[in-house]
Amino acid sequence: MDTIDTEFAWVAEILGSGFTEDEKYRMASHAVRLLGKRLDSGNPGPILVVGPTWVASLVRFLSLCEKFHNVDSPPHPGSIALRILSTSPGPAHFDATILPILTWTLPSTHPLQSRGLALKIFYIFGSGWFSPQMETVSDEDRGKLLRAVDDPFQCPAGATDYEPMMAAVVLIKFASSVLWQKHLHPSNFTSCEEIASKEEGRTSLRGMLDTVADEWLGLPRTPAKITAAIGRLRELRCLNTVEVIITWAQAAGVGSTEDHDAWRLVQP
């Protein structure tokens, strides 16, 4: 068995054992730190193909970190676990139990100071937030997540290796979802609105929308999700973002001759 597989297996076995939560945390932390050393060695190998079993184990470990994070000195095993999760392939391995973990780690005041990593995980899981799993999550918990995400462009100095515009695009997709749209608030788009007021920012946002178009709109591309997103964003007074979405949709050829009634709703 590969060393990385062995270390992941230790984490899973420890978490499934009969030890107390405190004991599980301390023993699993040792294995997670070994994984962190592999990341730092510059030769992480198979760790870059973290599978769904490992995602579930890391999420369970992070739930223990929430209880015991004050008893460890850096490098904190919780931060290491988040780094590993940020290498996940994404939606295919989505686990809704990550939601409270991100809600816990996203605030910039959190002791782990891992907002950048948490935001990266947030957008890596992308379409997972729209999966049937989310229908079992309470409105209260969905609202807490979006309050914790807040403005994805706001991150402590030094946070790297994440793309806030991708997080903004996930929020735009949320605006088209009945599960999420009512939980959005203007501060989620504060920086996006400022960026979308300038041509360079508009170009960047349109490019990001292109990267998720097929996943978001499906085929054939119809204006239904666009109109839903624009309607909610207009309610939030995010008019610069709305303008970019409209020009992007027109250039992308969203809609067809059968969609005139729906398409008129998104015209400037």
Report pLDDT digits (tens) over 122-160.
999 988 999 999 999 999 999 999 999 999 999 877 666
| pLDDT, averaged across the chain | 85
Distance CA 29, CA 23 (A): 10
- What is the percent of the chain where pLDDT is above 70? 85
Report H helices in the chain: 3-15, 21-40, 52-68, 77-85, 98-105, 115-124, 139-149, 164-174, 190-195, 199-217, 224-235, 239-251, 260-264
Tens digits of residue pLDDT in 66-115: 888 765 567 789 989 998 888 877 777 788 889 999 999 999 888 888 99
8 confidence band (pLDDT: 50, 70, 90): confident
- Structure pTM? 0.88
Distance CA 163, CA 75 (A): 24
Tens digits of residue pLDDT in 206-228: 999 999 998 898 877 778 899 99
